Amino acid sequence: MSNEFDYTKLKHVTSVDQSDREVPYNLRQSGPTKVEMLISTRVRKSPYWHLSMQAGCWRATVYNRIYHPRGYVKPEDGGAMVEYDAIVNHVTMWNVAVERQIRVKGPDAEKFTDYVITRDATKISPMRARYVILCNAYGGVLNDPILLRISKDEFWFSLSDSDIGLYLQGVNCDGRFDCAIEEIDVSPVQIQGPKAKALMKDLCEDQVDFDNMPFYGLAEANIGGRSCVISQSGFSGEAGYEIYLRDSTLYADDMWNAVLDAGKKHSLMVIAPAHHRRIQAGILSWGQDMDQQHNPFQCNLGYQVSLSGKGEWAKKGDYVGKAALEKMGAELKDGKKPYKLQLVGLELGGKPIEEYAPDFWLVSPESGGDPVGFITSPWYHPEKKQNIAMGYVPFDGTLNANGFPKGKVGTKFKVHLPEKYSDTPGTPVDAVVVDIPFKESFNANTREVVKG
């Protein structure tokens, strides 16, 4: 066969308890099915699409209904791990224009933003950003964007992979908040790696004081003669920045080429978003590690929700999902289990996983038997010389020192890897629950991961 699975014998896995979901994760193991992506006009090409092609992009996916480059170095030339070397040793640029920018602007911009996120928008100062989540009325995570506060009455939601722009317009369909909600022509790139600051200093010259720029700080600058907002943030755990280009459909080439020129002496490499490095940092990917049927507690985002009314992010007023989240928080405090599966970190055996997983690989108890969970984000950790992963296993009620759910460190499981990565084909590998993150981030509060 062309692939390692016999598709005529696939069975739907039902032993993983997903009874608290209306639409269970699809756990059929179909393997790396080889198809060609159709490029058509019903999905948007970002302003940087042609530039990614020039840089050698050879594969892509779709994210937020935009074509998203996901590979520049081909497998025969070393693949994704060559890109990993670039981000941990030098500096990289990513085309992340798929992070659509939804602007909320007007007298009630703060009030509206505060209502749709679980944190307190009033405590975000102008020209600062934060990682936030938006939940639905049932407490499910709709999106986990970076929220940029440009001014007193203007916020940008830099979206992960769900079209929250339509949702935000729907929340205000009756106009009860005096603000305009619309997508704007702003497209980001990420500059990530240990040489990021040096590159940004050369690129911006004296426009920005990068030495005193705080994490999630914002600054205005012209790059390639074009207006940009710069954020000290990123999706990697390495030192990094995001450049948000205004009027990007007009000026993409100017900004992009300016970065390439300034990056030559810093060994800049254009790469795909570094999922190998973000997994190490414990950074979640919406749609992969959680979706709208996961609540914040089960995917390690409980710190985003204040249940006591105390602390920096205490919410005093109402917000979407508050009642559901308060109920879950009370049940957890009482020792109850309001959901079935908990996201955990795992170290596992097998041959090095140096490519994206095409399936949610199954997890069974240490003693064997039917699968009870699944892997969402696996990769090989070169420094540990160990496969690592995030995945869901049955929630056992364990809480961390902050009172939030976690996996019990040391709990053992078996993981069913495909033949490509198995030490012995047909035999699951050993796995053990470990703390997340697997590797510390340059910024200790990247995605503000709370260790157990």
Q: How far apart are the first and last CA of the chain?
A: 45
**251, 245 in Cβ contact below 8 A?**
yes
Residues of the chain with pLDDT > 90: what percent? 86
Q: What is the pLDDT of residues 200-210, one digit of tens each?
A: 999 999 999 99
Question: What value does the mean pLDDT take over residues 98-124?
Answer: 96
Q: Given its phi and psi angles, is residue 273 left (phi above 0), alpha (psi -120 to 50 degrees) or beta?
A: beta
How many CA atoms lie less than 13 Å away from 204 in the CB half-sphere? 22
Q: Where are the alpha helices (DSSP H) in 264-375?
A: 275-280, 322-333
Rounded distance between C-alpha atoms, residue 442 and residue 139, angstroms = 31
Lowest mean pLDDT among 332-336, 353-357, 402-406: 402-406
Q: What is the mean pLDDT of residues 212-239?
A: 96
- Please state the rounded mean pLDDT for residues 10-30: 91
The pLDDT-based confidence of 393 (bands split at 50, 70, 90) is very high
Instruction: Supply the pLDDT for residue 308.
Output: 57
Whole-prediction pTM value?
0.94
- Look at residue 25 and tell me if it is in a domain: no
Residue at 102 is within a domain: yes
* pLDDT band at 316; cut points 50, 70, 90: low
Averaged pLDDT, 399-412: 91
When pLDDT is averaged across residues 385-410 and rounded to a whole number, the result is 94
Q: What is residue 451's predicted lDDT score, i.e. its pLDDT? A: 35
Q: Is the pLDDT of residue 326 over 60?
A: yes
pLDDT tens per residue, range 229-286: 999 999 999 999 999 999 999 999 999 999 999 999 999 999 999 999 999 999 999 9
- Whether the predicted pLDDT of 9 surpasses 80: no
Q: What pLDDT score was predicted for residue 446?
A: 53
The pLDDT, as a whole number, for residue 305 is 87
Q: Is residue 450 over pLDDT 80? A: no
Q: How many domains does the chain have?
A: 2
User: What is the spatial distance between Cα 29 and Cα 362, in angstroms, rounded to a whole number?
Assistant: 9
Mean pLDDT score, 48-73 = 98
Residue 348 has pLDDT above 90, yes or no: yes
Q: Are residues 259 and 369 in the same domain?
A: no
Which domain-ending residue is among 252, 273, 294? 273
User: At 427, phi and psi to the nearest 5?
Assistant: -110, 125
| Same domain (yes/no): 227, 353 | no
Looking at residue 452, what is its pLDDT? 28
Same domain as 51, residue 196: yes
Residues 57 and 190 reside in one and the same domain:
yes
CATH number, position 432: 2.40.30.110
168 within a domain of the structure (yes/no): yes
Cα–chain-centroid distance for residue 54?
26
Higher pLDDT, 3 or 223: 223
- Do 298 and 242 share a structural domain? no
**380 occurs within a structural domain:** yes
- Which stretches of 130-176 are DSSP H helices? 164-171
Contact 218, 129 (CB under 8 A): yes
Q: How confident is the model at residue 385 (pLDDT cuts 50, 70, 90)?
A: very high
Domain contains 137? yes
CATH number at residue 182: 3.30.1360.120
For range 40-61, the mean pLDDT: 97
Confidence at residue 34, expressed as pLDDT on a 0 to 100 scale? 85
Task: List the alpha helices (DSSP H) in 162-236.
Answer: 164-171, 196-204
Same domain, 297 and 252: no
Model confidence band, residue 11 (pLDDT cutoffs 50, 70, 90):
confident
How much is the pLDDT for 33?
85
Q: What is the pLDDT of residue 15?
A: 95
pLDDT average, residue stretch 14-27: 95
Range 29-36 average pLDDT: 87
- CB-facing half-sphere around the CA of 6: CA atoms within 13 A: 2
Asked if residue 71 and residue 93 are part of one domain, the reply reads yes
**Is 319 in contact with 114 (CB distance < 8 Å)?**
yes
| Cα separation, 370 vs 5, whole angstroms | 19
**C-alpha–C-alpha distance, residues 135 and 327, integer Å:** 14
Where a domain ends, among 217, 251, 273?
273
Residue pair 340/20 in contact by the 8 Å Cβ criterion: yes
pLDDT per residue over 119-159, tens digit each?
A: 999 999 999 999 999 999 999 999 999 999 999 999 999 99
At 12, the pLDDT band (50, 70, 90 cuts) reads confident
Residues 50 and 84 placed together within one structural domain of the fold = yes
Residue 421 belongs to domain spanning: 285-305+340-448
| 390 assigned to some structural domain | yes
Cβ atoms of 116 and 134 closer than 8 Å: yes
254 with 354, same domain: the answer is: no
Does residue 403 sit in the same domain as residue 259?
A: no
The verdict on 81 and 150 lying in the same domain is yes
Whether 29 maps to a domain, the answer reads no
Residue 365: pLDDT above 60? yes
Q: In terms of Cα–Cα distance, which of 220, 225, 231 is closest to 250?
A: 225
Provide Rg for the chain, Cα atoms. 22
pLDDT(3) > 50 = no
- Residue 167 and residue 53 share a domain: yes
Determine, yes or no, domain membership for 122: yes
Confidence at residue 449, expressed as pLDDT on a 0 to 100 scale: 42
For residue 1, the model assigns a pLDDT of 36
